Structure 1
Amino acid sequence: MSDDRDELAWDLLDAEVAYSCPGFDVRREEVRLPDGTETDFDYLSEPESVVVLPFTPDGNVVVIEEWRQAVRRVNRSLPVGGMEPEDDDREAAARRELREETGHEADSVAFLTSVEPANGVANSVLHFFVARGCTPTAEQELDHNESIRVDTTTLDVLREHIAERGIRDGRTTLGVLYYDAFGAEKS
């Protein structure tokens, strides 16, 4: 029998949730490194999330402006949210988050890519989608701790804000630049 285990892999000896709050946990693991050293490793553990690049029928992009307490400013970004148990799949989560955060619904949703944005300190996974034909159909359904206003802009203006470092949200920057480089059926 072959051993497919990578020589760089760590052995997990024990694990616990060191801290828990709505949205994420901090996990503490006791591990053994390849050289035999035993140590602790702490990381942020959170549900997978979806990021939506939503286009209106006329080609504008629906964006949100949201207060972000950690950096104490309003952040202009794409709609983003965690997957929930009632979501049938990632596309359903993308449609739900778009509707809840912006009040818009999409005619179509296409998968772009998945990334691990900070895999040295978190198990976060972001699934990026492009939504087309987005029209306002309902009121926002914000979580108790969300302060969001909805706006539209052009993709060119969004790119300019990224280039000028006016958008500092990594998920938005990555989503727009990935779409530009590799995106499905361009407008």
Structure 2
Amino acid sequence: MTDLVWETTDTAIDYTCPGFDVRRDEVRFPDGTDGEFHYVDEPPAVVVLPFTPDGDVVLIEEWRQAVGRVNRGIPAGGVEPEDAADLESAAARELAEETGYEADEFEHLVTVEPSNGIANSVHHHFVARGCRPTAEQDLDHNESIRVDTVDYETLLEAVLDGARRDGRTVTAVTQYELTER
């Protein structure tokens, strides 16, 4: 496998914005030639598949500028430095901030690198059970989120027929189906 490894000889941030950076690595390829590789550099994220006591799923609707539409999916957000050692706390924080819901329990579902050809993103997916509305949302200045609930079977059908395109939601529901049901 070492014949596939690129050596990073230098690295720098070319662009910074809220939520991520664009990083440029100077690299040496296995054949000895040099080049550059640019990628999105962002902190890890938590993704929550939240179930109410009745088995419904708490969803969010949020504008996504990159695709130019309202996205209907599950809560997710970046891991803060103080959360790095306790991803379950990060998942609880993001669920509360985005939805106003709190969960009785969290279970790790899967960790994935959703776009490792262009980003160093790592998403830690959790299932949250016993979710109840307990407070108001605490949104960031650039978030506009509406909260709703949907029957799990309806969400599953939307994932299977392609109506739900959010990758985090599709990953969580698919993994849940494969491992939990």
TM-score bucket of the superposed structures, by smaller chain: over 0.9
Letter in 2 for 1:13: T
Q: 2:130 maps to what in 1?
A: 133
Aligned pairs for 1:1-187 (under 5 A) are: 6-87=2-83, 88-183=85-180, 186=181
1:104-146 CA-to-partner distances (Å, cap 9, x unmatched) read 0000000011000011111000000000000000000001000
1:82-125 CA-to-partner distances (Å, cap 9, x unmatched) read 00123251100000000000000000000011000011111000
Q: Distance in 2 between matches of 1:38 and 1:149?
A: 48
1:139-176 CA-to-partner distances (Å, cap 9, x unmatched) read 00001000100000011000111122111101100100
Segments of 5+ residues of structure 2 without an aligned counterpart are none
Q: Provide the secondary structure at the position in 1 that maps to 2:82.
A: coil
Q: Provide the secondary structure at the position in 1 that maps to 2:116.
A: coil
4+ residue runs of structure 1 moved beyond 3 angstroms?
none
Q: Once the two structures are aligned, what percentage of the paired residues are identical?
A: 61
1:50-75 CA-to-partner distances (Å, cap 9, x unmatched) read 00000001111000011111111110
Letter in 2 for 1:34: P
With structure 2 as the length reference, what TM-score do the two structures score?
Answer: 0.97
Q: Distance in 2 between matches of 1:6 and 1:136?
A: 51
Segments of 5+ residues of structure 1 without an aligned counterpart are none
1:20-57 CA-to-partner distances (Å, cap 9, x unmatched) read 11100000011000001100000000000000000001
Letter in 1 for 2:45: S
Q: Provide the secondary structure at the position in 1 that maps to 2:72.
A: strand
Letter in 2 for 1:173: V
**Cα RMSD, aligned residues only:** 1.0
Letter in 2 for 1:109: F
Letter in 1 for 2:174: L
